[in-house]
Amino acid sequence: MGKKFLGFLMIAGLIVGGVFYFKPEDKLQENKSDFKLQVENGVKGVFHGQEIMPPIIDLTKVEPETQVLGETDPVAKKRILINLSTQTLSAYQGDDLFMEALISTGKWGRTPTGEFTIWSKFKATRMSGGSGADYYNLPNVPYTMFFSGSGVAASRGFALHGAYWHNNFGHTMSHGCVNMRTIDAQKLFNWADVNEKITIYDEESK
């Protein structure tokens, strides 16, 4: 009788623990990507059950040069700060502010907090993930900068990138990535190099 009760307790504990572990809001989602430059002009994407035509990616187009206003130290370190509480991104070179932008971070999957490093950059790539009504499959995701760190492996597919499928910046709207307006992602992409540091925080983790 005692063994039976113990067994029941263990099973119940496993079920409760499993439910908490897999609770979608808290779990970092996987963002499927081949981690390569992938240009698929004319191929439709899917987001929230809606088909959407991605922007045309022209690899021959010359990107505008980026410059910090005023005098800047060219050897000063660049850093990117992401505040989840205010849904804002700030990029600095030394003490000089390069840009500020409203962003959209995790709603259907959590955006990790901590110290990260950009490990690869692609002008366009494909991203997919989610399930059911949250399924997405998006070609030509523009100006993608994958990052890893703070216990989050590169293979998880977290990135800063332009988002052409919504326009609700300043509010959570992603599966864990950092969505930016294409115009802002382009500016950051042309300024930030691989190995650039990113700090992601919210008011609680500050």
Partner 1 sequence: MMKNQSKSLLWLVISLTVVGGLMFLWPKPVGAPIQEITVSSPSPSPEPILTAISADGEIALEMKQVKGAEMITWTLKAGRDKKAFRKIFWQTLSKDMTMSIPFNTVSPDNKYLFLKQSGPDKTRYLVLTTSGEPIMPETQTIEFAKQFESEYPEYVITEATGWGGIDLIVFNTDKIEGGIGPSFWYEVPTKSFIRLSNRFE
Tokens standing for residue 127? 């991203």
CB nearer to partner 1: pick between 38 and 182: 182
Exactly one of 41, 86, 155, 168 binds partner 1 (CB under 8 A); that residue is 168
Exactly one of 12, 14, 97, 183 binds partner 1 (CB under 8 A); that residue is 183
Tokens standing for residue 136? 């997405």
What is the rounded CA–CA span in Å between residue 132 and residue 101? 31
Closest to 54 (Cα-Cα) out of 114, 116, 127, 5:
127
| Cβ at position 72, least distance to partner 1 in Å | 24
Residue linked to tokens 């005023």: 70
Q: Cα–chain-centroid distance for residue 39?
A: 19
| Cβ at position 39, least distance to partner 1 in Å | 16
Question: Is 191 within 8 Å of 113 (Cβ atoms)?
Answer: no
Tokens standing for residue 140? 């030509």
For position 124 contacting partner 1 by CB under 8 A, the verdict is no
Residue span binding partner 1 (CB under 8 A) among the ranges 5-13, 147-155, 179-187, 197-205: 179-187
Question: Is 148 within 8 Å of 158 (Cβ atoms)?
Answer: yes
Binding footprint of partner 1, residue count (CB under 8 A) = 24
Exactly one of 181, 190, 201, 202 binds partner 1 (CB under 8 A); that residue is 181
Exactly one of 52, 81, 99, 154 binds partner 1 (CB under 8 A); that residue is 52
Exactly one of 63, 167, 194, 205 binds partner 1 (CB under 8 A); that residue is 167
User: Tell me, what amino acid is at 46?
Assistant: V
Exactly one of 13, 17, 18, 55 binds partner 1 (CB under 8 A); that residue is 55
Q: Cα–chain-centroid distance for residue 140?
A: 15
Q: DSSP letter string over 43-58?
A: --EEETTEEEPPPPP-
For position 166 contacting partner 1 by CB under 8 A, the verdict is yes
Exactly one of 1, 5, 23, 50 binds partner 1 (CB under 8 A); that residue is 50
What is the rounded CA–CA span in Å between residue 183 and residue 16? 45
For position 41 contacting partner 1 by CB under 8 A, the verdict is no
Instruction: Catalog residues that contact partner 1 under the rule CB under 8 A.
Output: 47-48, 50, 52-53, 55, 102, 107, 162-173, 181-183, 186
